[in-house]
Amino acid sequence: MKIQRHGATLGLIAAGALLLTACGSDNNAPAGATGGASAPASAEQVDCTGKAKLNAEGSSAQKTAIESFVQVYQQKCKGADLAYNASGSGAGVKQFNAAQVDFGGSDSPLSKDKGEVDAAATRCQSNPAWNIPLVFGPVAISYKLDGVTDLTVSGEVAAKIFNGTVKKWNDPAIAALNSSAKLPDKDITVVYRSDESGTTDNFQKYLTAASKGAWTQGDGKAFKGGLGEGKEKSAGVAQAVASVDGAVTYVEWSFAQDNKLSVAKIDNGGGAVELTPETVGKAIDGAKIKGEGNDLVLDLNSIYASTAAGTYPLILATYEIVCSKGYDADTAKAVKAFLTVAATDGQAGLSDAGYAPLPKAFQDKILTAIKAIA
């Protein structure tokens, strides 16, 4: 995911638009609490005496962020390395719970209903696993439609598109939100993630919260719309949409930009809202933590269903899933070292990589959790 060329745009996130300190408990994607493209300076000490090679797997949404973290980690801890396989959130959780990797990456926290919480506790020697959010960004409803580059959807209309209730681009439901657009009499081609994905889970949670009952399919890491063409990973769905006129998908903003896809505005009841650093930041101001203690699980439902003017409600938080206890001593040291670097010095390059640095208040919460890993 090569998104460095978008750094100038996303750097604005850190320029004060996404002042996550207002997130009473948990601030997702943005920049330093006082503005500026870099994360707050940190005097955190890093213990580099753990094992030299770490392995992790999971979310493709955070792939470039992890690569940036690894570069800083290698500078900070000479001879250290981390291999990250961007196989998707579902695979990341499975590999973590099977003790095949040292930590997993997921766009959704561990699910108790699916047995992931219990499986992770077993993997961690009868200790709970923690969800630690390090990487944040918006999700775009991205499309390719000849002659239409300015399009608005609502949560209700998006739900009807992705469950097949609305089949044509000139459907009255779409036209009612786009009176000035020349909508073609063309079939809508839905493209979805065929692999298990936290992006899919977040998107379906948004549809459930924001569609006024139009989305009844539920959520989860597997797409439940019942139609469309499945493609693997974020790059796969974005590339597929780029090649088909009339196609639409949900994907991280950076992938939409990379593939030159149009991005729909969202009317959440307060008027059409464009996806920008400012509108994402305003939405994230309401994020809270619902996890207990150092398990930093975010409660995003209030954002997804928000009707506040000027807020873009579709955001994604990527978690690193770690054992609170249960590692051997060398692995625990290395995991803590990598995550400490990622949460501090590693934040400085995130805006150039297409992500948003952590604000100081939220950075402190993450560091508290990292220090508690044993």
Rounded Cα distance, 253 and 93, in Å: 23
Structure tokens at 65: 């962020």
* Widest CA span in the chain: 63
- Annotated binding residue at 68? no
- Annotated binding residue at 198? yes
Rounded Cα distance, 74 and 24, in Å: 34
Return the amino acid letter for 82: L
- Annotated binding residue at 107? yes
Rounded Cα distance, 155 and 304, in Å: 9
Q: Report yes or no: 218 and 161 within 8 Å, Cβ to Cβ.
A: no
| Angle (CA) 96 196 92, round 5° | 15
Structure tokens at 345: 């010095």
Q: Report yes or no: 342 and 134 within 8 Å, Cβ to Cβ.
A: yes
- Annotated binding residue at 272? no
- Annotated binding residue at 302? no
Minimal CA–CA distance to 244: which of 144, 141, 140? 144
- Annotated binding residue at 59? yes
In eight-state DSSP terms, residue 168 is B
Rounded Cα distance, 297 and 132, in Å: 7
Rounded Cα distance, 13 and 103, in Å: 28
In this structure, what is the dihedral angle of CA atoms 351, 65, 62, 99, given to the nearest 10 degrees? -160
Rounded Cα distance, 189 and 259, in Å: 17
Q: 133-154 burial, b for 16+ CB within 10 Å, e for fewer?
A: bbbbbbbbbbbbbeebeebbbb
Residue list, annotated binding site for phosphate: 59-61, 89, 107, 197-199
- Annotated binding site, which residues? 59-61, 89, 107, 197-199
